[in-house]
């Protein structure tokens, strides 16, 4: 008997498996709430369509044995009990709201993969040590109420609940009234300290995984950005009668800065740099330009990389002439995810036999806020042609299924710690 047992091929993963068909069915079901003719979804936050998908989510989670809490900004926390309810909860999730004419996967996959994991736990009578919470964050998209990532921002303390309630949409409807209108202004006081870890599964929304035929992106962080304005002052002069040697051409100086931004980014891989706005004065064919304003966007995954890029930009502006001024107008620090959670994601993808690569998110996510208060990481799955915020957004059933499997495996790994 014992020799027979030892000869048995060990199961690669000794755990119950999530069901990709069931997950896909949930994606199809929820896409009906705000579904568009072209196969996309228009489900702006705190609208009737949002209420429908929220009610569906709450109903499914309750039926699976979860307790459901809603906080003051409408974030929904569905918690499946663990063996030791004194332990902090392991949280997964994302957002169910979409852009106008948005897709069926952006955010939604991360919540529904959580629901599929709940189904799997229930079906196999599996109890984790920790409680498991599936979260739907309010207004990730920011298309009806600005700023984006509002619910996770309030939860993480980036802005106050009162300030969030006072924000209005274009029709003048405040967030507070919109929450009341759909019945999702809750009163639960969910403390950030209640989380042991947060893991968010999301579509990549970019082309890199597909291009490299990689199944899983192990997201190590979210790149930071800095915005700069450059004002260059030259001397307006007649285009016909001013000799070339005597010109003080602001646009020529600006052109050197545009090229420098490109070169600085290339020298600081994986940094990116863009001059997306140019204003020329007086902008007339036969006048040597006397003034130019440039708007520059630079991004990099590390603060040190951003510092190097900014220093190089200062040099480039200095070289372009004494009458050029550089101003940093906005910045957002890079988010570096918790190495031990990132490691758990990487190990889980490997254990399941999926190809995986480290990735840095180019877009913002709720995980950026949650990372400031709890150990956090993200998992990416491919986006067809890198399309997102688009009705044609697509991630294949097997790709969604792999993401859910890696998410589940990561939770199991964290639960053992």
139: tokens are 């207004």
Q: Which of residues 142 and 192 has its CB atom nearest to Zn ion in the complex?
A: 142
- Minimum separation from the CB atom of position 47 to Zn ion (A): 17
- Minimum separation from the CB atom of position 95 to Zn ion (A): 6
- Minimum separation from the CB atom of position 216 to Zn ion (A): 17
Distances (CA, A) of 231 to 254, 324, 401: 9, 6, 51
- Minimum separation from the CB atom of position 96 to Zn ion (A): 10
User: How many residues make contact with Zn ion (CB under 5 A)?
Assistant: 2
Q: Which of residues 107 and 290 has its CB atom nearest to Zn ion in the complex?
A: 107
Q: Which of residues 47 and 388 has its CB atom nearest to Zn ion in the complex?
A: 388
Distances (CA, A) of 125 to 82, 183, 245, 253: 12, 33, 83, 69
Asked whether the beta carbons of 372 and 158 are under 8 A apart, the reply is yes
The rounded Cα 138 to chain-centroid distance in angstroms is 14
The whole-angstrom separation of Cα 56 and Cα 107 is 16
Q: Which of residues 106 and 391 has its CB atom nearest to Zn ion in the complex?
A: 106
- Minimum separation from the CB atom of position 388 to Zn ion (A): 8
- Minimum separation from the CB atom of position 353 to Zn ion (A): 27
- Minimum separation from the CB atom of position 410 to Zn ion (A): 19
Q: Which of residues 197 and 222 has its CB atom nearest to Zn ion in the complex?
A: 222
The whole-angstrom separation of Cα 261 and Cα 240 is 31
- Minimum separation from the CB atom of position 272 to Zn ion (A): 20
- Minimum separation from the CB atom of position 180 to Zn ion (A): 25
Q: Which of residues 44 and 251 has its CB atom nearest to Zn ion in the complex?
A: 44
Q: Which of residues 169 and 393 has its CB atom nearest to Zn ion in the complex?
A: 393
Q: Is 14 helix (H, G, I), strand (E, B) or coil?
A: coil
For CA atoms 114, 118, 124, 126, give the dihedral sign: positive
**Length of the chain, in residues:** 417
The whole-angstrom separation of Cα 73 and Cα 252 is 51
Instruction: Tell which positions 126-185 bind Zn ion, by CB under 5 A.
Output: none
Closest CA to 272 of 204, 363, 380: 363
The whole-angstrom separation of Cα 152 and Cα 155 is 5
Which letter does DSSP use for residue 193 in this model?
Answer: G
Angle, CA 388 vertex, CA 382 and CA 393 arms, to 5° = 75
Q: Which of residues 106 and 415 has its CB atom nearest to Zn ion in the complex?
A: 106
Q: Which residues pair with 30 in a beta bridge?
A: none
Asked whether the beta carbons of 192 and 366 are under 8 A apart, the reply is no
Binding mask 59-98 for Zn ion (x = CB under 5 A): ----------------------------------------
Asked whether the beta carbons of 264 and 199 are under 8 A apart, the reply is no
Binding mask 93-132 for Zn ion (x = CB under 5 A): -------------xx-------------------------
List all residues 6 or more positions away from 134 whose beta carbon is below 8 Å from its beta carbon.
61, 66, 77, 78, 80, 91, 92, 93, 111, 114, 115, 117, 118
Residue nearest to Zn ion (CB): 107
Q: Which of residues 71 and 140 has its CB atom nearest to Zn ion in the complex?
A: 140
Binding site for Zn ion (CB under 5 A): 106-107
């Amino acid at each position: 008997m014992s020799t027979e047992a030892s000869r048995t091929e060990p199961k690669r993963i000794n755990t119950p498996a999530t069901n990709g068909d069931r997950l896909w069915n949930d994606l199809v079901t929820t896409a009906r709430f705000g579904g568009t003719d072209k196969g996309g979804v228009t489900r702006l936050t705190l609208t009737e369509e949002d209420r429908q998908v929220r009610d569906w989510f709450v109903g499914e989670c309750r039926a699976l044995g979860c307790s459901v809490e809603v906080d003051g900004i409408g974030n929904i926390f569905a918690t499946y009990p663990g063996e030791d309810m004194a332990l902090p909860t392991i949280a997964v999730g994302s957002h169910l709201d979409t852009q106008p004419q948005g897709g069926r996967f952006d955010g939604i996959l991360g919540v529904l993969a959580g629901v599929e994991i709940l189904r799997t736990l229930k079906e196999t009578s599996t109890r984790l040590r920790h409680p498991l919470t599936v979260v739907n964050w309010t207004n990730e998209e920011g298309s009806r109420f600005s700023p984006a990532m509002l619910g996770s921002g309030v939860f993480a303390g980036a802005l106050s609940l009162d300030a969030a309630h006072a924000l209005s949409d274009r029709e003048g409807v405040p967030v507070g009234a919109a929450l009341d209108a759909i019945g999702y202004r809750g009163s639960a006081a969910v403390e950030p300290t209640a989380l042991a870890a947060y893991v968010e599964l999301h579509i990549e929304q970019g082309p890199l995984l597909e291009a490299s035929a990689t199944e899983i992106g192990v997201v190590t962080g979210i790149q930071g950005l800095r915005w700069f304005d450059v004002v260059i002052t030259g001397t307006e002069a007649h285009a016909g009668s001013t000799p070339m040697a005597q010109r003080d051409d602001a646009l020529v100086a600006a052109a050197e800065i545009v090229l420098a931004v490109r070169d600085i980014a290339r020298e600081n891989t994986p940094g990116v740099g863009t001059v997306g706005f140019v204003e020329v004065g007086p902008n007339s064919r036969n006048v040597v330009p006397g003034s130019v304003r440039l708007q520059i966007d630079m991004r990099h995954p590390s603060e040190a990389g951003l510092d190097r890029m900014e220093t190089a930009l200062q040099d480039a502006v200095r070289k372009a002439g004494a009458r050029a001024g550089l101003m940093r107008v906005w910045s957002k620090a890079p988010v570096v995810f918790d190495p031990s959670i990132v490691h758990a994601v990487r190990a889980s993808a490997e254990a399941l036999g999926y190809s995986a690569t480290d990735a840095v998110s180019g877009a913002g996510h709720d995980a950026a806020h949650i990372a400031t208060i709890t150990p956090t990481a993200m998992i990416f799955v491919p986006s067809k042609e890198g399309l997102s915020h688009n009705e044609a957004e697509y991630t294949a059933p097997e790709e969604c299924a792999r993401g859910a499997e890696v998410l589940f495996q990561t939770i199991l790994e964290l639960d053992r710690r």
